[in-house]
Amino acid sequence: MIENPSDRLCIDTIRTLAMDAVQKANSGHPGTPMALAPVSYTLWKQFLKYHPEHPDWPNRDRFVLSVGHASMLLYSLLHLAGVTEIDADGKPSGKPAVSLDDIRQFRQLDSKTPGHPEYRLTSGVETTTGPLGQGCGNSVGMAMAERWLAQHFNRDDAKIFDYKVYVLCGDGDMMEGVSNEAASLAGHLKLSNLCWIYDNNTISIEGHTELAFSDDVAMRFRGLGWNTLHVADANDTAALAAAIEAFNQTTDKPTLIVVDSVIGYGSPNKHNTAAAHGEPLGVDEIKLTKKAYGWPEDSSFLVPEAARHVLRDAMAEHAKPAYDDWQKALEQLQSSEPALYDELQRMRAGQMPQAWAQSELSFEPNAKGIATREAGGKVLNAFAQQLPWLIGGSADLSPSTKTNLTFEGAGSFQAKSYGGRNLHFGVREHVMGSIANGLALSYLRPYTSTFLVFSDYMKPPIRLAAIMELPVIFVFTHDSIGVGEDGPTHQPIEHLAMLRGIPGLITLRPGDANEAAEAWKLALSLTRQPACIVLTRQPLPTLDRSRYAAASGLARGGYVLADADGGKPEVILIGTGSEVSLCIEAHEQLKAAGIRSRVVSLPSWELFEQQDAAYREQVLPPSVTGRVAVEQAGPLGWDRYVGISGAKLVMTSFGASAPLAKLQARFGFTVDNLVKLATEQASKTK
């Protein structure tokens, strides 16, 4: 079935490298790389538009290994293709992206070949995969990005973007719900630039997939609006090439190619081998398998000289003309539309437009105020007009989250209008996050929105955005028991603690309209960090900033909003979000009672912890032990700010269904109760 001797040599090199690397590490998955070596090799050699010397070429085809446990497949391909490393400054280092020594260090500390592929760590890895289904979701974002970029940049005589997105996925991906969300939206959007290659090997860790999975996958995808093709043998490279050719001819829908394979192909024990269960094959079985390949049985990490240039040369040969044409198109764009060319260069570099922040809004003092979701929507629209590649949407909730872009020309991203900037994800929170990561991996600045309680559905992509250092903005509204009558199912309690627990994520819970404006400004200024902006449903007073400190203090995470007159405070009230105004009301009553209090707005714990010790102690003096934390969320983490003896006015249970005022009374979020707690705490400082 693999008729060309040089192709067979390269394919067997990929297989044996996987076996040897997993055996040396005594950890990993050799079976899938062995089975899919002909599939991936055929795709890369004959079809993938990818220049090995320019792996950051914006118009390259994307290859996503959603079966991230098969990482050795990708590392072997990158090695044989001779892909060049791009350093941290975005420049070619002159080194290989993956050397043979790197492969020998598979799964070892500080190696470029970790157990699952990691974006930024290894050049040529398009996205961090491992949690099954996430690569599928990312790929839809990448395909959507190509459609948007093409609409925005392409001209009749100059094509800047026309890449395709290929995904290798498996049974585990198909079982995870996020892949179905992704496939459903991709079918609806008719993303004909997207091709998933499904490794139908019928094996999972527990055994045969018939234990838990009997879907007719092809039929399901046809129902989702996909073109489906079948290759009966993963080793039939001619049939696979014909299927990919059919994908390239399809113009009205995405394509699924179902490929039947035998995991650990060539291993004498086949499905009984440890290859099916993520373990090394063992020295004896490796020798037998190599013998079956006609490979030197005692060799280790062998890359025959004849295999070293086949894939690299083939890829360079068919990518070079496309790359040269793209360079000419780019030069033409620079000459004819320099402003648009500047946009593209800034997008690639992760830079903002000049003077983008001049559109920042400010809000006048208002005792009645507005909800921070309302303020956030106004600020978003102002910034979006200055940032053309800021696009996003909600999981069917934009009327509630106020994240719809309403200015002229914003439009909706749909199958017949790919240039729209409002994305409609439907009720698909999980894949919304995964798609946003794919968009961010493709030079766009995406945002998403839903209710805070539904961040539960989005934890995996938020976590991966933090791991990949992607500047995605996740907007969450309806942030507390302020949701009121919707009840405990919709009233978030533990969710802020979850978000604050994700390393690298900036969580912002602004206390009024002007803090909401500062939160958006801060989030958009991040270039290698995701942010969550957490907003209220209910109106909050817009504070008089001539009387209280400027909202720009949000940039430091926490700041003194209101202070005691004429001396050290006796008690510090620390609040976030909707509870900041409650702290201000209590502060005024304490002042009237002769008790010196300080109000600290703490919208971002992460940013506050980044400040130096002197600043943190200036805001929260250690000598003032009387403290009250006020937040309509769970208590986890507040001890670090109030200490063992401080008070916490927080939620220790789920909420209830009732009007907001009655909920506040039930759970103690009243001025009288806060003044009582603060008075008790002040006595400790005295």
Q: Torsion angle, CA of 578/581/583/585, rounded to 10 degrees?
A: -140
Q: How far is residue 18's CA from residue 12's CA, in Å, rounded to a whole number?
A: 10
State the residue for tokens 């109760």.
673
Residue 204 three-state SS: strand
Residues 6+ apart with CB under 8 A from 295: 12, 16, 302
If one counts every other C-beta atom within 10 angstroms of the C-beta of residue 372, the result is 33
Is 429 among the residues known to form the active site? yes
State the residue for tokens 């989250």.
401
**DSSP state, residue 483:** G
Residue type, 485: E
Answer yes or no: are the C-beta atoms of 625 and 646 closer than 8 Å: yes
Q: What sign results for the dihedral spanned by CA atoms 678, 680, 685, 686? A: positive
The tally of CA atoms less than 13 A away on the side-chain side of residue 151 is 19
Choose the catalytic residue: 85, 118, 285, 429: 429
Name the packing angle between helices 31-46 and 71-81 (round to 10°).
40
Residue 180 three-state SS: helix
Name the packing angle between helices 429-440 and 459-468 (round to 10°).
20
Answer yes or no: are the C-beta atoms of 582 and 545 closer than 8 Å: no
Q: How far is residue 488's CA from residue 456's CA, in Å, rounded to a whole number?
A: 14
Q: What are phi and psi of 256, to 5 degrees?
A: -115, 125
Residues 6+ apart with CB under 8 A from 79: 17, 96, 97, 98, 99, 100, 102, 103, 303
The tally of CA atoms less than 13 A away on the side-chain side of residue 82 is 15
Answer yes or no: are the C-beta atoms of 599 and 587 closer than 8 Å: yes
Answer yes or no: are the C-beta atoms of 679 and 589 closer than 8 Å: no
Q: How far is CA 621 from CA 210, 642, 659, in A?
A: 62, 11, 38
Q: How far is residue 489's CA from residue 470's CA, in Å, rounded to a whole number?
A: 30
Q: How far is residue 642's CA from residue 242's CA, in Å, rounded to a whole number?
A: 66
Answer yes or no: are the C-beta atoms of 504 and 469 closer than 8 Å: yes
Exposed/middle/buried for 652, CB within 10 Å: 0-12, 13-18, 19+? exposed
Helical residues (DSSP H) of 441-512, grouped into ranges: 459-468, 495-500
Q: Outline where DSSP puts E strands in 252-375.
A: 255-260, 366-371
State the residue for tokens 């049974």.
171
Q: How far is residue 518's CA from residue 525's CA, in Å, rounded to a whole number?
A: 11
Residues 6+ apart with CB under 8 A from 622: none
Considering just the CA atoms, what is the radius of gyration of the chain in Å? Answer: 28
Q: How far is residue 657's CA from residue 663's CA, in Å, rounded to a whole number?
A: 8
State the residue for tokens 């995605």.
472
**Residues that are catalytic:** 429
